[in-house]
Amino acid sequence: MNDLYSRHRQVLPDWLALYYDEPIEITHGEGRHVWDSAGNKYLDFFGGILTTMTAHALPEVTKAVAEQAGRIIHSSTLYLNRPMVELAERVAQLSGIPDARVFFTTSGTEANDTALLLATAYRRSNTVLAMRNSYHGRSFSTVGITGNRSWSPTSLSPLQTLYVHGGVRTRGPFAELDDRAFIAACVADLEDILGHTRPPAALIAEPIQGVGGFTSPPDGLYAAFREVLKEHGILWIADEVQTGWGRTGEHFWGWQAHGRSGPPDIVTFAKGIGNGMSIGGVIARAEIMNCLDANSISTFGGTQVTMAAGLANLAYLLEHDLQGNARRVGGLLIERLRTIAAQLPGVREVRGRGLMIGVELVRPGTDEADPRSASAVLETAREGGLLIGKGGGHDTSALRIAPPLSLTVAEAEEGAAILERALRSAY
């Protein structure tokens, strides 16, 4: 392993971060477990950054990939593509967007990049509203709308970005307000911004902020924002790269917690739909999707083998009600973790929905972020056989828990017990 790590450092960028003091190579997986090259078995509570949505080595998906690869892997979007059409039909129907069109990409970054292209072309404006503490990808345009300093390596951007309050409920100037007053204050902030600028193209927002540490506003905030946006003709882009496909348990899409004013104008997705295969995409009503007046394709977006994986994965998710499982098992896991947290002075908050759970750590007796302890807990959990993630807008002090949606109650209990020992070792 040291040899592979040395080779990694010789040929890959320094900023390509690796977890753990002694990085591990994951060689294979099954269900909710993975194994490293040393033969160690881990319960996977991060799923390749929320990407292994159903299970590792899910037979239905691997069979679909193998059968499609045996026919043809790729032909590009220049030719009719049956699996792409079939998956687009399913996604359009599930989106809730009327007269929906779907464009497939290879990642969430590319999906958000495409959504920005559509919104700015449709509205003829390069101004974009984004949320503080947000993350939308690593391309030049998506870095320019990311409101998280840890993931924004440049202030240069082709867009003018204005950041709005509301993505983090328990920090910031409105944290002490109740939910109704919090929403009112955030709406007033939005209205104030719009009073000082020409109308932006769109507001882009994650219903639950992923890299930001699984933070979210009170239900209804984006519906309240939508009423203001409509008055100005501003589009609403919901970044569902991490929240889509039932992960939050209560809803199939994260935006539905804010949905009294109807679906967003544009939805972006990626990660879980491919269960590890490289799929991203954009859903928009036809007039927005068709607004481009020049040719555009995606060489690898919608390639047959990834579409076959997406179709099989989505079918499995729906047939086995994994959204319902995320709600039930995720609810139990959140309550278990809150019980643990109540006994530990360094746990500020356990938050989230379904199987998208954040545990924010602070220095005991203060409200200051504790990134050192977060890293220590990550290490100790791995030593105990559990893989988790971390994130947050305050010095990466939030643990991120997002296992495959087929997680069992017994596995949830096992993971919670390992995490409890890791937290107790830090505090």
Mean pLDDT by 10 residues, the chain (427 residues): 90 94 97 98 97 98 98 96 98 97 97 98 97 92 89 87 95 96 98 94 97 95 96 97 98 92 94 97 98 93 98 98 98 98 96 97 95 97 98 88 98 98 96
* Same domain, residue pair 6 and 110: no
Main-chain dihedrals φ then ψ at residue 265, nearest 5 degrees? -75, -35
* Same domain, residue pair 32 and 82: no
Tokens of 382: 């791995």
Q: Are 238 and 266 in contact, with CB atoms under 8 Å apart?
A: yes
* Same domain, residue pair 39 and 187: no
* Same domain, residue pair 118 and 239: yes
* Same domain, residue pair 296 and 348: no
* Same domain, residue pair 315 and 325: no
Give alpha helix (H) positions in 96-148. Answer: 108-123, 140-143
* Same domain, residue pair 238 and 277: yes
> Among 286, 302, 319, which residue terminates a domain?
319
> Among 319, 340, 371, which residue terminates a domain?
319
- Write down the pLDDT at residue 116: 97
Task: Tell me the C-alpha distance between 118 and 111, whole Å.
Answer: 11
Task: Tell me the C-alpha distance between 401 and 64, whole Å.
Answer: 28
- Burial label, 228 (beta-carbon count in 10 A; 0-12, 13-18, 19+): middle
- Write down the pLDDT at residue 96: 95
* Same domain, residue pair 285 and 402: no
In the chain, the number of structural domains is 2
Backbone CA torsion sign across 120, 125, 126, 128? negative
Among 278, 185, 285, 284, which Cα is nearest to 225's?
Answer: 185
> Among 278, 293, 319, which residue terminates a domain?
319
- Write down the pLDDT at residue 394: 66
- Write down the pLDDT at residue 17: 87
**Domain with 27 in it:** 2-58+321-426
Measured at the CA of 17, the angle between CA 13 and CA 22, to 5 degrees, comes to: 115
* Same domain, residue pair 51 and 128: no
**Residue partners of 98: CB distance under 8 A and separation at least 6:** 285
- Write down the pLDDT at residue 154: 86
- Write down the pLDDT at residue 303: 97
- Write down the pLDDT at residue 317: 98
Q: How many helices (H) and strands (E) does the chain have?
A: 13, 15
**Going along 25-123, which residue ranges are E strands?**
26-30, 33-36, 41-44, 100-105
* Same domain, residue pair 296 and 329: no
Task: Put residue 253 in one of left, alpha, beta given phi > 0 → left and psi -120 to 50 → alpha.
Answer: beta
DSSP state of 423: H
Task: Tell me the C-alpha distance between 184 and 363, whole Å.
Answer: 31
- Write down the pLDDT at residue 90: 98
Cβ atoms within 10 Å, residue 72:
11
* Same domain, residue pair 113 and 199: yes
Task: Tell me the C-alpha distance between 395 and 392, whole Å.
Answer: 7
* Same domain, residue pair 289 and 325: no
What CATH number corresponds to the domain at position 27? Answer: 3.90.1150.10
- Write down the pLDDT at residue 393: 80
Give alpha helix (H) positions in 233-303. Answer: 286-289
> What is the biggest distance separating any 2 CA atoms in the chain, rounded to whole angstroms?
62
What CATH number corresponds to the domain at position 218? Answer: 3.40.640.10
Q: Are 157 and 175 in contact, with CB atoms under 8 Å apart?
A: no
The residue type of 174 is: F
Residue carrying the six token digits 């939910």: 179
Cα 284 off chain centre by: 19
Task: Tell me the C-alpha distance between 203 and 164, whole Å.
Answer: 9
